[in-house]
Amino acid sequence: MEWIEEIFAEGDSFVALLAPSEGAEIVTGLLFSLGAHISGKRGCVTLIEPQPPVKAPLLPSGWQPHVNNLRRVEFLYMSDRRELVTFVTTLHALGAVPDCIMVDGLNNYVSDNENCNVAAMLALLEDLSQWIRTKRKQENAIPVAPVVVSFMGPPEHLDQTASILTLYTDQVWRLLVDRDDPSWFNLKYSENGRLRVRVNDDGTTFDWSKWKNGTTTDGNESLESESVQEVTITVNKRGTIMEGGGEK
């Protein structure tokens, strides 16, 4: 499970995960698994969801979090923008600060996903991320992503959302539907590294494959590099954002 932190939360960065709406279940599973992994190594995690889940989140095939790790994950359910804004703006008044705060489904906290509302919410979270970084330095804490958010929406709207996310975050990772097999989602996380995920047939786990430097690490099936969707990297002053391209 080291790969999940390596991709999504390594370092001291404000990270966003962008995906089409049909990938929401995968994204929630990735964030839940990331939270359980971080809490087992680094400390406390707060995972914010718009509502309580109707079923258990997906887990990587062949992996189960230790119950003691889950005890260090605080689950908060905030149904609207006002609740989230209040939490973010008053967190500094608390004595203890989580090592990582994750907001799953930031799209649920903006009105009709309007650009100005997305930007305003991201600005608040960026400020929170900077504050946690400063506090960490004072405490000599081990760096891990202070804030991780996910954003889902219709594919035709994601390019515009991606442009806004890249202005406020340090890294934006984008899941893309595989053109050859739409049941898979692909993500390029480095110049020669790719992650591939899909919901397993049992409906409770997700298969994953991580490909890098010609080698494959599998949670279940092998990753055929020929079917991976190639993506380009657009570099900006804050970080990188993954955008769709041709196929490889």
pLDDT digits over 83-110, tens only? 999 999 998 887 678 889 999 999 999 8
| DSSP E strand boundaries for 22-179 | 45-49, 59-60, 73-77, 100-103, 147-153, 171-174, 176-177
By residue range, what is the domain housing residue 142? 2-247
Lay out the sheet containing 100-103: strands in order across.
73-77, 45-49, 100-103, 147-153, 14-20, 171-174, 240-247, 229-235
- Is the model's pLDDT at 111 over the cut of 50? yes
What's the pLDDT score for residue 218? 63
Q: Output 10 or 105, whichever has higher pLDDT.
A: 105
| Cα dist from 122 to 165, 230, 240, whole Å | 7, 28, 16
State the Cα–Cα distance between residues 242 and 180, nearest whole angstrom.
Answer: 19
Of 45-54, 80-89, 117-126, 238-247, the poorest mean pLDDT is in 238-247
State the Cα–Cα distance between residues 89 and 247, nearest whole angstrom.
Answer: 43
What's the pLDDT score for residue 116? 83
- Is the model's pLDDT at 37 over the cut of 70? yes
Which CATH number goes with the domain that contains 125? Answer: 3.40.50.300
Tell me the residue length of the chain: 248
Mean pLDDT (whole number) for 218-235: 40
Q: What residues form DSSP beta bridges with 40? A: none
| Structural domain total, the chain | 1
> Strands 240-247, 229-235: parallel, antiparallel or unpaired by DSSP?
antiparallel
Segment 177-191, tens digit of pLDDT: 998 999 999 998 887
Name the token pair of 79: 């149904």
Mean pLDDT (whole number) for 34-54: 90
- Is the model's pLDDT at 207 over the cut of 70? yes
Of 78-82, 88-92, 140-144, 200-204, the poorest mean pLDDT is in 140-144
Residue 128 carries which side chain, given as an amino acid letter? L
Q: Output 189 or 30, whichever has higher pLDDT.
A: 30
Per DSSP, the three-state class of 232 is strand
What's the pLDDT score for residue 215? 61
User: By C-alpha distance, which of 25, 24, 76 is closest to 204?
Assistant: 25
